[in-house]
Structure 1
Amino acid sequence: MQLSCQFIFWVVLFSLFPSLYSLPLPLPLPLLPTNNISLYGNALFRNNGISLTQETTCLPSSSLADIGRAFYVFPIRFLDLKTGAASSFSSHFSFSIIPNPLCPFGDGIVFLITSNADSFSFSNGYMGLPNPNPQGQDSFLAVEFDTSFNPSLGDINGNHIALDVNSVVSLASIDVLSKGFDLKSGRRIRVWIEYRDSAKLIQIWVSYSQTKPPSPILVAQIDLSKDFQEYMHVGFSASNGPGSAMHMVDQWRFKTFTAYQPSMNPMDAIEQGYCFMCSPDSDPDPEDLFNSIPEDQTHNHKTSHKSKLKLKLKLGTMGVALVCLIISVAIVTAILAVVCYFMIMRKKRRVGRRRKRSQTGLLQMNNVPTRLSLAEIKSATLGFHRNRIVGEGASAVVYKGSLPSGEAVAVKRFDQSNQKEFVRNPFTTEFATMVGCLKHKHLVQLQGWCCEGSELVLVYEYLPNGSLDRLLHRNSESAIFLSWSLRLNIVLGVASALAYLHEECARQIIHRDVKTCNIMLDDEFNAKLGDFGLAEVYEHNCASREATIPAGTIGYLAPEYVYCGVPTVKTDVYSFGVVVLELATGKRPVAEDGTVLVDWVWDLWVQNKLIEAADPRLSGRYNVLEMERLLIVGLSCVHPNHEKRPMVKEAARMIRGEAPLPLLPPMRPTVMIRSNVFADSQDIFNFDGDRTPTADDSGWFSPRSHFSRA
C-alpha cells in the first residue's frame, strides 16, 4: 500500500515557548493549530478546543440559526482523476454538546467533508449543512450527531447518529440511546470514522472512553468515488436553530490513504504503519503535532497562505537574531530527539504486544484446537451469563466470550438434557468433523473445546456481524443494510465453502443444514459457513449410503431427501439454491402467510417476470444482468430433479459470468421420486396438481415445495 496523502493534526490550543512567536527564524515553522483551522460564523477557539456555537438566549423559530463551522485551511485531495478511485480515510475526534437548561436543545453537530466550504444553510435542523444545489456542482459527506427531531427530514428521533450524502435526508441512521449513549448528556464522546474505498464501506465507532469499541455503531455501503470531487474541505459544522447549546470539538485526527496494491500482503502493510484500520492513539503522537503539509495538498495554495507562516520581528539587532537562531535550533533538535525516542519506544511496545498475543492466543501455529478447562470457559462467559447469549439453537446456546488476552470468541454450549440414545450427539459430530479436515477461509474456525463433567463446549472465532439471517431478514434491529455487491460476495463465499466440503476435502462432507442462520459474517462481511452438528462424512466415490431420518430446516430441504432420506451433495446444492434466492429476493424460504419462496420464483419465471423477484429494498441499485443471472442459477440449484442441478463450483462460475447459464424449462418441471422412507406405506399422495394418481404411482412422488397431502 502506498501512502498518497497523510496529514494528522490535533486541535489542541497550546503555547510552546511563547517567546518563539517573535523570534526571527529563517527556518519555516510548522503551522500551529490556530493557523491550521479556519473558523466561520459564530465559531471560536475556547478551552483547548473549538466552540462551534455559543450559549445564547433561546431564539424564536423565525430567527436565523446560530451556526458555526471549522475547516482545515487546505483542501484535501480525495479523488484520483486518472483512475477514478477515491482515497480511503480515517478520522478520530472527541466532542461534547453542553446544554442550556433554560432552552431546548440545538440542532446538533456534524463531521463534514464538502467541496464548497462557503455553502451552508440557516434552516432549522440542517446543522449548517450545504444548501441543496440543483446544478449538482457541489457535493458533501456528513456524519450527523443530531439532537433535534425533524420528521420532515426523515429523522428517527432527537438523539441519533446518521450518514448524509449530498442531502440532509439521511442514507442510514441509528438510535444511540438504544446503544447506551446520550448525545445530550454533556459528556465528552469519542468518535472514530473510517472509510475503505476497496470495500466501499464506511464505519463509525462511538465511546465514552479512550478505547475504540470492538464493533461499529453504524455501518453503511457507499461509493464516494461517484460523489467526491478531486479536492474537498474537511471539518465540522453545528447550529442551534431555535434552541441553545455549546457544541465543542477537540483532539481531531485525520488521515487519507490510497487503495491497497493487490500484490501487497495486508499484514505487511500493518507492520509498516500504513494500515487503514489502525486505531489512532487516544493522545496525540508527538510527531503528529509537527507534521508538515504534503506537497499535493499545498499545490496552487502556497501563495495564498504565505502570510500565515510569517512571524513578526520584535528584535532589531543582528546579534540578538543570531543568538535566537542558535537557541531555536537547539530547541528543535531537542524536540526531534524526544520524538525519535517516543517512536522507538512505541514500536517496541507494539512488537511486544504482538509477541504476547502470539504466545497467549488460542490458536497454535499448527492450528490445532486447544483443550480448555471449564473454569476458563466460565471465566470467558461470566459463568454462562444470559447477557452474553448471542444465539440459540435446538441443541446449543452460543455465548460471546472474552479470553484473558482480550480475544473475542464464540462459545457454543451443547444441551445434554434432551438427548436421546438413538439420536446422534451433535457435539460429537461437529467436533469430529471440524477437527478432521476443515481449514478454509469461508468456514467458521474451531479454536478450542471443553469436555468436563456434563458440559460439552466448542469455542469458535467470534464474527462481529452475526448471522446472515439477522441482517437479511431482521434489518429493523440493525443499521446495516446488505448492498448488492455484498450479497454477491456472500453467495460466492458460501459456494467456495461448499465446493471445498464436497470436492476438495480429504473426505467428502455433506453439511445437511445450509441456511442463512448458519452463515456468519466477519467484520468485512465475508461469509463463513458454520454449525456442522448434522454433517455426514463419506469417502469420495462412496456408492452405498444408507437412508436416514431427514434432518434440517423446512424450506431448505431437497424433495428427494425428504422422501428418500439419503443426503448427497445435490441436497446441499438445493439448500444453497434457496440461500441464493433469499439473497436475491430478500424473502424468507417460507413466508408468514405460507408462501414458499421456491414456488413464488418459479411462477415468476413461467410468467416471464423473473426480474420482479428482485429485493425491493435494493431500490434498483443493482446490475440487472447480474440479478437475472443470480435468480436463474438459484432456480437451477432448486430444480426438482437432482440430476439437473449443477455442482456448487459450476454454479459459482455461472454467477461470476465465467460459464454459460443453464437452460430452464418454460414451465416448472415435475419429477417422480421413489420413496424409501415410505416404501411400505399404503397411502397415496398427489403432488402433481390435477393429475389423478394411478396404481403405478404407489410409492412414487412428484414433489411440490409445500408437500401438501391429498
Structure 2
Amino acid sequence: MKLSCFPVWFLVFFLFHFTFPSHSVPLLPGTNVTLYGDAYIRGSSISLTHEFSCPSSPSSSSSSMGRALYVYPVRFLDPKANTTASFTCRFSFSIIPNPMCSSGDGIAFLITSSADSFSLHNGYMGLPEPNFKTQESFIAVEFDTNYDPSLGDINGNHIGVDVNTVLSFASVDVVSKGIDLKSGRQITVWIEYKDAVKLVKVWVGYTLVKPRDPVLVVQIDLSKEFYEYMHVGFSASSGQGSAMHIIENWRFRTWSYPAVNPVDTVEEGYCFLCSPEDSSNKTSPVDHPRKKGPRVHKMALGLGGLAILIVSVVSIVGIISVCVIRKKRVIIRKRKEREACRVQTSRVPTRLSLTEIRAATMGFSRNKIVGEGASATVYKGSLPSGVAVAVKRFDRTNRAGLSRNPFTTEFATMAGYLRHKNLVQLQGWCCEGSELVLVYEYLPNGSLDKLLHNDSTSTVYLSWGVRMNIVLGVASALTYLHEECERQIIHRDVKSCNIMLDDEFNAKLGDFGLAEVYDHRSVSREATIPAGTMGYLAPEYVYCGVPTEKTDVYSFGVVVLEVATGRRPVDDDGTVLVDWVWDLWVSGKLIEAADCMLAGRYNVSEMERMLMVGLSCVHPNHEKRPTVKQAVRIIKGEAPLPLLPVRKPTVSIRSVMNADSEEMLNSGDQSPGCDEVSWLTPKSHFS
C-alpha cells in the first residue's frame, strides 16, 4: 500500500533493519524483476513462457523460453569475515500443458553469478546445455517435466538439484510423493540451504501449509559455488512441447549464523530489501570491558536514543494512521472492484481422466445433454464430490469446418487468462484417446436464448429488473475482456445462447472457441475468415474479416435489442431485428419495440435508454459505436443519451474492391460514387 503523504518505506526499512538479522528481497512482479525471453507479467504473477502453440517440427524455433530475475544482485559471501549466507525460498507455481502436444521442459529456481551469460536457446528449462562452456556459476532446483535419458533424468516428473550443469547432482521422483508437476494445479515449494550443515532441503505441496518431511535432501557445499553477489530468480522453457509456466507468491531470503531458522519464524507477506552495507555493519552482541565512565555514558546515550526511537515511531505511526483513514474509502472501493472482477488465480483447471468424465455423464448419455452446437455437445454431469458441472465434449472431426480447433482455442484462452465473475469458469479438462473435453461450472437456469424466446421447456419469466441485470453483467464481462484483462480478448461470438444464467439469474458469458487474443500494444490485426452467427456480425467484420472490440460491441448491441424486445435477431419470416428497431426509431415509435411479454411492467425511460444504446452499438460505422463501458454508463443514466441519426444509416463500400479497398461507413444519405451493399448478416438492408 502506497501512501503519498509520508515515505512509509523509510519506516518499514528502519524497523526491519533492527528486527531481522538477515538479507531479504521482495520478488514483486512488475516492480523489481527483470524479464528475459518470452517472460511477461500477468496480473500478480509471471508467466515464463508463452501460451499454447505446438512446435511444427522437432527442429522448430518456435519453442518458448523465459527467465525472471530479481533486479538487484543478492550478497551470498562476505570475503572479509569469510562467511557464507544460508537462504530460504518459498514460491508457488503451476505448469499448464497444452493437451494437443507434449508438455514443456519445466521450471527451475535459479541462482546465477551472471544474469546475461546464458543464451536464450531452446530446451533445458532455459539452463545451459551440458556442453556449454562458461566461467560463471549457477545453482538450480529443477522441476523437470521432460524425460531425457541423455541427461540422466529418472522420469518426466522429478525434482533435482543442478550445480553448473543441467545434469542433476541429485534428483527424486515426485510421482511417488503424490505430486504431478504438470497437472495444472498450483504447487507451493519451500527450498532451504543451511551453510552450517551444508544441506539443501526441498518441500512441495498443493497447499500453503508446509509438509513435515522434505521430498529431497542433498548434502552439498554451495559456498564453493557462490560469488559474493549472485542473481536470484526463475527460468523455464517449452522445449519441443508446449506449456504455460507460471510463478506467483514468491520470495527469497538470506541470513547468516548465528540466527534462528527463518523458515519457522517468518510470517506471511513480503519482506523488504536490506542493503548489503547495512547487513555487514552489525554490532557485536559481546560487550568488551570498558572504563566505567564512558560505559555508563554510552548506556545513557543508548537509553536516550531508544526513547527517541520510540517517540519517533509513535509519531510516524500516528501520521500513517491519519493517511490510512483518509484513503480508506478509496482502498475499500478498489478492493471490491478487484474482488468483483476476478476469482483467485489459484483456481487452476484440473486435468480429469476419461473414466471420471464418463462416470460424471453416465457414459455420455443422451439423457444428460443440455446443449448442442456445431463443434461440441454439452452434458450435465456430477463429480464424485457431488458438484454439478457442464461437460463440453468436442467433435474431433471438426464438422463445423473451422480453420482452428475450437477445443485448443477455448482451453488456451480460459486456462491462460480469464478470471471474472461474469464469465463461465473452467474447472477441468480431459484429453485422452480421441476425446477432448472441457468441464465448466453448471449454471442451472441455462442460456438466455431459451428463457428469452419462450423455449417450450421453460416456465421462467424474465422481469425488467432481471433483464437490466443480465445486460449489465454481459457488459461487465466484455469490459474485462477488452480493457482489463492482461491481454485484450475479442470474443467474436457474443450472442444470447452463449450467455448463461446462474441460480440468481446473473449473466455469465461463455464459449470462447472463436476468441482472438491480442497484446494491448498491438496495432495490427490479421484478417480472418469471418466466423460467428448470422444476425450478430458487424458489417465491417463480414467485409474485411478483421475482428476488433467494436465488432464485439455490435454483437453486444444486438443482444441488448434482443433483451429489450424479446425478438430473435432474425425472425422466422426473415425480419431482421436491427432493421425493425431502426424503422421504429425513424417513425418516432421506438417505445413500441418493448417486449409485449413485459405487459408494460418496466420503466419507460430505462427502456428508451436501452433501445437507444442498442441502436448506437449496432451503428454500421464502427467509429460511431460506443465502447461497452460507455454504453453501460448510458444505460445506468450516468451519461447523456447517444446521438442517433434521424434516418437509418447507410452502409457503403467502394465500388472497386481490391486488396487495399477501405470501407466507407456513413450515416444519412448515400454518398455520391458509392454502391450500396446489402449486408448478409443476414438480409440487412440499411438504406
Q: TM (normalized to structure 1)?
A: 0.46
